[in-house]
Amino acid sequence: MKKNSAAAEGLTVVTGSHNPVIGEFFLQKAAEDIQEAKDVIVEEDVWIAANVTLLSGITVGRGAILGSGSICRNSIPPYAIVIGNPAKIIGFKFTPEEVITHEKKLYSEIERINIDLLINNYNKYFINKINEIKSFVKL
Catalytic residue set:
18
CA distance 21 to 98: 50
How distant, in Å, are the alpha carbons of 22, 47, 89, 121, 131 from that of 81? 39, 10, 6, 12, 19
CA distance 83 to 66: 6
Q: What is the 3-state secondary structure (H, E, C) of 106-136?
A: HCCHHHCCCHHHHHHHHHHHHHHHHHHHHHH
How distant, in Å, are the alpha carbons of 5, 31, 42, 65, 86 from that of 2? 6, 31, 6, 14, 24
CA distance 95 to 59: 21
